[in-house]
Structure 1
Amino acid sequence: MTEGKPTHSAAKRPTVNLALTGASGARYGLRLLQCLLAAGCRVHFMISKAAQVVVATETELSLPGSPDAMQAFLAERYGAEADQLLVFGREDWFAPPASGSGSRAPLVICPCSTGTLSALATGASNNLIERAGDVALKERRPLILVPREAPYSEIHLDNMLRLTRMGAVIMPASPGFYHHPESVADMVDFIVARILDHLDLPQDLMPRWGAERVSRKLAGPSKPPAD
């Protein structure tokens, strides 16, 4: 589920590491955070300084500067339970995502800046987000990267190829239009739904491709009109 109150007990909550970096597309990351919390996940949340600037530029939000204040703000905004959302600072090296001996959780970087792509492709670990990505790669944990840039340079493409070969999933923020979006929110949900699918979390943001066709087939042939 992506709406309503979380249904998981604290002991059974799936954990997802979520990071926002300084690419355009903050709404993707914030909507994903909302959906993860609504699905009952525990979220380890990380955000770069550049991402905080992007959030202030692209949305109506002005996030508090300290991790504790941001945690309280986001928990209240998205209706998180007390144990659901943990916000970690840029250099919190004792946070679970910073070590392979931490919780075995997938990492989503959404949006993912091209600078972060470069850092991950070259093994840099200059902050918690980069270290979390490095851990995900070395531990062979699910790593979903959502870049938002146009056009891509050869450097960007090479970094994405290198990361794909290492096991990461590159999911550019390129929404489709076959579902006839009527708003920016619909286009945001298209990408968020694909991320949730890759995390094996239920979602009802987007209908399944072919679902209508299957329903028609199961219903059988339509009857011809009566004379």
Structure 2
Amino acid sequence: MMKSVSESKPTRLIVGISGASGVIYGIRLLQALQPLPVESHLVVSRSAELTLAYESDLSLRDLQSLADVVHGRDDMGAAVSSGSFRTLGMVVAPCSVRSMAEIASGVTTSLLTRAADVVLKERRRLVLMVRETPLHAGHLRNLLSLAEMGAVIAPPVPAFYTNPTSLEQVVDQSVGRVLDLFDLESTAVQRWGETGEEGARRRRGRLEKKGAKD
């Protein structure tokens, strides 16, 4: 059953999943959006379908079931291809260097990169969870161009200050910080200075150990 959203303001978020390694970021992002009053619009690239098969036990249908609305990758007439379709913006999670390059050049060949281009031209928020390392000069030039156009470059860098004990916690922290960029709250985020009693206990323990050594 689709979540009830108001048509008076943009309460839609486009989620693009491209073919870079790290499809779990797109999966967890869709799951994090489910309890929120946001209508998720999903676009999955052809390469991402292959990555999904390698990196997850989910089928494409399972992945699509996590979104409120699914758009075909080649459907250039989809609602998200038009600037008149109001959204909060778009997250590409993960973002491959090919998708990044298409978006940077404005020469788009799929609905995913077209939707991202629309978000940029409408001055909405585009967040790219770029997954590639190391980066050569061409990659860096594209990233700079995107940043100058208004995109937010948000590689999923682990936050070790949270003392994660599982890969899921590492992923959820990155996803939650991306949602912060849209003023959307994720309960999975551990915030510096607000990490609860367990985090406070660990910090006290480390400080006590350091004091004993000093």
- TM category (shorter chain) comes to 0.7 to 0.9
1:102 aligns with 2:97: no
Number of the residue aligned with 1:187: 170
Number of the residue aligned with 2:205: none
Shift of 1:91: 1.8
Shift of 1:61: 1.4
1:17 aligns with 2:14: yes
Moved more, 22-31 or 173-182: 173-182
Q: Which of 146, 169, 177 is the matching residue for 2:129?
A: 146
Q: Which of 26, 30, 34 is the matching residue for 1:33?
A: 30
Tell me the C-alpha RMSD between the 2 structures. 2.1
1:10-52 Cα distance to aligned partner (Å, 9 max, x none): 3368210000000000001100011112213211100001001
Helix, strand or coil at the partner of 1:136: helix
State how 1:70-81 maps to structure 2 within 5 Å.
70=61, 73-74=62-63, 78=66
Number of the residue aligned with 1:163: 146
Q: Distance in 1 between matches of 2:154 and 2:161?
A: 18
Number of the residue aligned with 1:81: none
1:88 aligns with 2:71: yes
Q: Distance in 2 between matches of 1:168 and 1:162?
A: 9
Number of the residue aligned with 1:119: 102
Q: Which amino acid letter does the alignment assign opposite residue 59 of structure 1?
A: S
Shift of 1:103: 1.8
Helix, strand or coil at the partner of 2:160: coil
1:80-121 Cα distance to aligned partner (Å, 9 max, x none): xxxx61111112122221011112331110100000111011
Number of the residue aligned with 1:67: none
Q: Distance in 2 between matches of 1:145 and 1:199?
A: 13
- Structure 1 runs of 4+ aligned residues shifted over 6 Å read none
Q: Which amino acid letter does the alignment assign opposite residue 5 of structure 2?
A: A
Aligned residues: 195
Contact 2:42 2:64 in 1 (8 A): no
Query: With structure 2 as the length reference, what TM-score do the two structures score?
Result: 0.84
Closer, same or farther: CA 18–211 of 1 in aligned 2, 3 Å:
same
Helix, strand or coil at the partner of 1:178: helix
Number of the residue aligned with 1:222: none
Query: With structure 1 as the length reference, what TM-score do the two structures score?
Result: 0.80
Number of the residue aligned with 1:46: 43
Gaps of 5+ in 2: 201-214
Q: Distance in 2 between matches of 1:140 and 1:123?
A: 14
Shift of 1:164: 0.4
Q: Which amino acid letter does the alignment assign opposite residue 177 of structure 1?
A: F
Gaps of 5+ in 1: 64-69, 79-83, 217-227
Q: Which amino acid letter does the alignment assign opposite residue 126 of structure 1?
A: T
Q: Which of 142, 146, 155 is the matching residue for 1:172?
A: 155
1:159-203 Cα distance to aligned partner (Å, 9 max, x none): 111100100000012112110111110110111011110111011
Q: Which amino acid letter does the alignment assign opposite residue 25 of structure 1?
A: G
